Structure 1
């Protein structure tokens, strides 16, 4: 078993599927695997299929599920971080190159599961910073150093897990 807070690719158990549903407040769609666990031990990122159950294309490979992590990413978005990091892509060649490499890695991994009709990606990669939730999810799932903008988001999101598990297991589980 992988230690909490580390990259994982584990099939989602029925109990985890229910836990993710409680995190999201709705049934999760097209979940393939737990892609990352927060230090509290619960899934905080899931890997999804490139196609929803009804056949609709779904370009978001990694989905941030923990409501506390989601709230932390939303707070960053509200402070203008996306605009700052978008501007940095135009002035920092190393950041832009790393972000483009993250985009290519993301597409390769998603395409290995099934190619979509377009090359759409999540988070605005490679030219825009559009969704810190998607970028943080990718950074957590891929590990440090793969997505530099996602890494920045994760670093600034703080310790969303510090208050303990965000979704308690229901009795009998």
Structure 2
């Protein structure tokens, strides 16, 4: 149970409250800088937990269960905090909401399909969605650390909208598969 990949996954879950704390209230530039560093570290551990598990042949049921949960907790917490700090504001909140709602809906759909023993593999487009999502959220945190570079914030918002668009497309793909199995 306490293999290196599982410890890396658990470390991401335990890092979320620290990330939230750093962005709570009125964060200063150095709070954002620390949050960005932690966010990057969480992203690196996300990559390595799966890589190490596959390389060592230690893929576990616990890891398969916890990894997507850790990802969704991190994304949800960051989105909520960035809306709270108004780094995501105005109409961009719609993009953030689309991302959150899709994460919840797809999790429920995957659970429903798992009960039916139906596997839905992650598509290339879904991987691109995740990439844009992670870059956008990291960019929005980084923008708080470097407010003198407004282009960082603009680029991150562009990536957020790209992630939201891909979220709708991939969410529809998952829903289509799910609807085939609903009576």
- TM-score between both structures, scaled by the size of structure 2: 0.28
Higher strand share: 1
Normalized per residue, which structure has more helix? 2
> Taking structure 1 as the reference length, what is the TM-score of the superposition?
0.29
Q: Max radius of gyration: which structure? A: 2
